[in-house]
């Protein structure tokens, strides 16, 4: 959704200015890379919390 909003704001700007298409592509690529990194970070954080939760909730009946 945010990507669609960003594109809807950038495309008219690019059409009405003398911006180079290569620069426009680079801006979009940076936006995608930043958000992909955030998704990876939060996925890893969730996995770490899940592993910790599993360790806490496992019962050790070996005693």
18-37 per-position pLDDT tens digit: 656 677 788 888 888 887 88
**59 or 39: which leads in pLDDT:** 39
Q: Per-residue DSSP letters for 5-17?
A: HHHHHHHHHHHHS
Does 14 score more than 80 pLDDT? no
Q: Is 26 left (phi over 0), alpha (psi -120 to 50) or beta?
A: alpha
């Amino acid at each position: 959704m945010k990507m669609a909003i960003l594109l809807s704001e950038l495309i008219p700007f690019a059409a009405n200015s003398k911006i180079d298409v290569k620069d426009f592509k680079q801006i979009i690529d940076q936006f995608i890379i930043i958000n992909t990194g955030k998704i990876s970070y939060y996925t890893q954080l969730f996995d770490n919390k899940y592993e910790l939760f599993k360790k806490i909730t496992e019962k050790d009946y070996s005693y």
